[in-house]
Structure 1
Amino acid sequence: MIITAKTLTIIKHRLTFFLFLSFLFSACVDLSKPRDEDGAATDTPAERQGHSGNSAAQDDESTTDVSVNPSEFEGTYEATLPCGDCDGVHTIIVINNNHTFRISSEYLGKNKKIEDNGPFKLIENASIIHLKGTDTDLKLKIGEDKLFQLDKDDQVIEDEHAKDFTFEKKDT
């Protein structure tokens, strides 16, 4: 079997994409909670009022038991995510109030763009939005005009790169 340069390029691009996705899902931190003087997370007012997740909510398929209207967080969010072999991945996420999303990722410095769409679910008592499309399986913590990307353990990134995984809501 002869492997052409074109085939090698395709394999390289696919491998890069999967490595990028692996990185995204393994390097996230929870910035949505306030911190005390020692840096430990403290409860938010909503959690003190009983809207935080419980052990049943830890299950990936658990859904909200509170009434949440998607219009409260619908809109367009964007971030430029880190990339190992490019200048960054400019990503735009559109959340619609009909429980659907659209995502577009452009690899800066390359001629590559990936788009996907599908339904979303609210999980963890509506504190997390789970985007599930053909090529997308992404969980984001819902903040005020922000979405915080979660890692593979469903935790928000809290290290020095946390801001790199925060999607800001665009004014529309």
Structure 2
Amino acid sequence: MKNVANILFMAVMLAACGSSADEQPVATAGDTTGTAVPVSYQPVIEGSYLGIVPCADCDGIETRITLFADTSYQLVNNYLGKNPKDTAGLNVAKTGRYMMHNDTVHLAGSASKFLRTDTALIQLDASGQLFAGKLADKYILKKVK
């Protein structure tokens, strides 16, 4: 009987040691798949991201996206090398909500999608894929402090 009690005690102790509070799953914003992500791996996405993306008829589009903890965002585009009269209405700050699906940030009210990394947002093309070719590295918005 003493051996059975010792075995039960050891089993309970091993089971208690097997889980950690740091690894409890939590749902992410916009997560509709039911897949949980451990707390220790939750991305810190809030902050401002800045970059100059290619433009067909200007010197580039300075793009700043600020993502807030309440899942709202602000998007500001500044068309470089263009007459301000030609960009009237384009250089206006847009606001809305964003959603996360895996590592993709979707800006509601906009066709824009971005792949999240630890230090940047990478703009995706209309089909949700990374841009390819010699300008691919121009679609990176780096996190600013």
Are 1:98 and 2:31 matched, yes or no? no
Pair 1:139–1:62, CA change in 2 (3 A): farther
Unaligned runs of 5+ in 2: 1-30
Are 1:169 and 2:125 matched, yes or no? no
Are 1:131 and 2:107 matched, yes or no? yes
The residue matched to 1:114 in structure 2 has which SS?
coil
TM-score (norm 2): 0.66
TM-score (norm 1): 0.56
Higher relative contact order (CA 8 A, sep 6+): 1
Distance in 2, matches of 1:146 and 1:64, equals 26
Unaligned runs of 5+ in 1: 1-60
CA contact (8 A) 2:111 2:126 kept: no
Pair 1:137–1:107, CA change in 2 (3 A): same
CA contact (8 A) 1:78 1:170 kept: yes
Identity rate, percent: 27
Given the alignment, which residue of 78, 93, 96 partners 1:115? 93
Give the paired residue count. Answer: 107
Deviations 1:112-161 (A, max 9, x none): 313211011111xx21010113xx22110111111111112211123221
Pair 1:157–1:63, CA change in 2 (3 A): farther
Distance in 1, matches of 2:116 and 2:43, equals 13
Distance in 2, matches of 1:62 and 1:155, equals 21
Distance in 2, matches of 1:86 and 1:167, equals 18
